[in-house]
Amino acid sequence: MKKNNFKHLVGIKITYNNCDEIQNEAMQLFMLAMRVSSAKIYSQHMSERVKRGLQARKERLAIQEQSR
């Protein structure tokens, strides 16, 4: 689904003649929402991993400095 496909959703009651088209469009929008949600969760997970990695590195460097 392309971004510009959203422009015609305003006229959904006028342009869609049967239930199959509405169900198809709804399914495409649902799948798009699920991909966005999944990408958000993955992004948050990776962000937390990076933060934990940076914190661990800082702690290792601090321990090395103390041992010198």
pLDDT in tens, the chain (68 residues): 445 555 555 555 555 567 778 888 889 999 999 999 999 999 999 999 999 999 999 999 999 999 87
Which residue, chain included where needed, has tokens 């009651």?
A: 13
First to last CA, the chain: 59
Strand residue runs (E) in 2-67: none
Domain ranges of the chain: 3-67
**pTM of the shown model:** 0.55
State residue 43's pLDDT score.
Answer: 95
State residue 21's pLDDT score.
Answer: 80
- Burial (Cβ within 10 Å: 0-12, 13-18, ≥19) of residue 58: exposed
Tokens of residue 26, six digits = 């709804």
Alpha-carbon gap, residue 65 to 61, rounded angstroms: 6
Tokens of residue 3, six digits = 């971004």
